[in-house]
């Protein structure tokens, strides 16, 4: 994996259509390109992502929205033949700086995956996994507190508090996904990336996760990739529309869904393709 920065020029974010929050963005991406071998998966994407908001990435399959999400915590590092250029900063730190430790980056940028993927361990050990590997606690009591706090934050505590030593894989799909969210929260990240977190869940479990996202945005920067435009409209404050590797349009969710500037966005949200 190489990350040449020579080609990066100071790009500009697309002009905001509605007023933005008054604080500087949490994540700033400029002229990001991603190649898988010869395939140009992300083309010159520049975007700002703000704190205490849910930002939704929407677009048809294969448009690069998941790829771009994974670039943000360098999960693409483990894919052979993947190459990233451009500049991405998290609170001012260049995340592709060779001096930056990817382990620490991922502790700051947590991730929840499409399919719930609890480890085949107990519920407790699943949540305690992150704090343990990062050495966040000094005593068992502190660890217990983090586990309880994270499970409460993920709205799972009441359902599992009496069976913390049961395997996480024994929970239902929706509970597993909330367990994975609790697992991500336990390392106190700044950003939580969610890659279609509800696509394997039923409507009731989906509603719970969406409610949870709305709560979590008080404390975290949340980015969600979703196939469901209704979901993007329900949970997000800002929406970015990707198409064939291009970031077509980004703006407030309300503006994207009611007054899209680009013809392709209009076609997509009205269901003409995708």
Partner 1 sequence: MSLTLFFVLLGLTVASFWVGRQHAVSLRNGGARLHSLPSYHGTYVALVCGLPAALLLLAWISAEGWMIRQFVIAGLPDEFKQLPDGELALLMTDVRNMAYGAVPLDTSRPHIVSAVEHYNRLRGLSKVLSWLVILAVAIAGFVLARRMIAPEFRARNAVERILNVVLIISSSLAVLTTIGIVLSLVFEALRFFARVPVTEFLFGLTWSPQTAIRAEQVGASGAFGAVPLIVGTLVISVIAMLVAVPVGLMAAVYMSEFMPGRIRAVVKPILEILAGIPTVVYGFFAALTVAPLVQSIGMSLGLNVASQSALAAGVVMGIMIIPFVSSLSDDVINAVPQSLREGSYGLGATQAETIRLVLLPAALPGIVASVILAFSRALGETMIVVMAAGLAANLTINPLESVTTVTVHIAMLLVGDQEFDSAKTLSAFALGLLLFVVTLGLNIIAQRVVKKYREQYE
Nearest CA to 45 among 23, 65, 25? 65
Contact between 117 and partner 1 by CB under 8 A: the answer reads yes
The three-point CA angle 116-68-132 to 5° equals 45
Q: Is the dihedral of CA 214, 215, 221, 222 positive or negative?
A: negative
Residue pair 31/8 in contact (Cβ under 8 Å)? The answer is yes
Alpha helices in 154-202 (DSSP H): 157-160, 173-185
**Nearer Cβ to partner 1 (123/229):** 123
**Nearer Cβ to partner 1 (160/194):** 194
Segment 45 to 74, residues that bind partner 1, using CB under 8 A: 73
**Nearer Cβ to partner 1 (28/107):** 107
Q: Which stretch binds partner 1 (CB under 8 A): 4-12, 35-43, 126-134, 141-149?
A: 126-134
CB of 184 to partner 1, least distance (A): 7
CB of 116 to partner 1, least distance (A): 9
Q: Exactly one of 80, 203, 263, 271 binds partner 1 (CB under 8 A); which one?
A: 80
Q: Exactly one of 42, 49, 88, 111 binds partner 1 (CB under 8 A); which one?
A: 111
Contact between 84 and partner 1 by CB under 8 A: the answer reads no
In this structure, what token pair is assigned to residue 13?
């974010």
In this structure, what token pair is assigned to residue 274?
């995708």
Segment 144 to 203, residues that bind partner 1, using CB under 8 A: 169, 180, 183-184, 187
**Nearer Cβ to partner 1 (3/73):** 73
Residue pair 54/236 in contact (Cβ under 8 Å)? The answer is yes
CB of 77 to partner 1, least distance (A): 8
Nearest CA to 150 among 115, 114, 124, 122? 124
Q: Rounded distance, CA 22 to CA 33, Å? A: 28
Segment 91 to 110, residues that bind partner 1, using CB under 8 A: 103-107, 110
Residue pair 249/14 in contact (Cβ under 8 Å)? The answer is yes
- Say which DSSP state 15 is in: P
CB of 21 to partner 1, least distance (A): 27
Using CB under 8 A as the criterion, which residues of the chain lie in contact with partner 1 when the complex forms? 73, 75, 78, 80, 103-107, 110-111, 113, 115, 117-121, 129-130, 133-134, 169, 180, 183-184, 187
């Amino acid at each position: 994996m190489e990350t040449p920065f020579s080609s990066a020029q100071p790009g500009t974010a697309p002009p905001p259509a509605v007023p933005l929050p008054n604080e500087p963005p949490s994540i700033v991406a400029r002229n990001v390109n991603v190649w898988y071998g010869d395939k140009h998966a992300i083309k010159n994407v520049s975007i700002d992502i703000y704190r205490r908001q849910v930002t939704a990435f929407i677009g048809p399959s294969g448009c690069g929205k998941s790829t771009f999400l994974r670039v943000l915590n360098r999960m693409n590092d483990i894919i052979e033949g993947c190459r990233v250029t451009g500049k991405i900063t998290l609170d001012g730190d260049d995340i592709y700086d060779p001096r930056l430790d990817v382990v620490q980056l991922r502790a700051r940028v947590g991730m929840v995956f499409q399919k719930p993927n609890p480890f085949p361990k107990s519920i407790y050990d699943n949540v305690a996994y992150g704090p343990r590997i990062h050495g966040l606690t000094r005593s068992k009591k502190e660890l217990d507190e983090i586990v309880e706090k994270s499970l409460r934050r993920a709205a799972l505590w009441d359902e599992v508090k009496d069976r913390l030593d049961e395997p996480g894989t024994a929970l239902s799909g929706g509970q597993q996904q909330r367990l994975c969210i609790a697992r991500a929260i336990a390392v106190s990240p700044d950003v939580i990336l969610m890659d279609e977190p509800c696509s394997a869940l039923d409507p009731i479990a989906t509603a719970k996760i969406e409610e949870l996202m709305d709560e979590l945005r008080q404390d975290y920067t949340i980015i969600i990739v979703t196939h469901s435009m209704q979901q993007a409209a329900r949970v997000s404050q800002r929406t970015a529309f990707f198409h064939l590797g291009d970031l077509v349009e980004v703006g407030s969710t309300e503006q994207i869904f009611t007054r899209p500037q680009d013809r392709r966005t209009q076609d997509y949200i009205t269901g003409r393709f995708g």
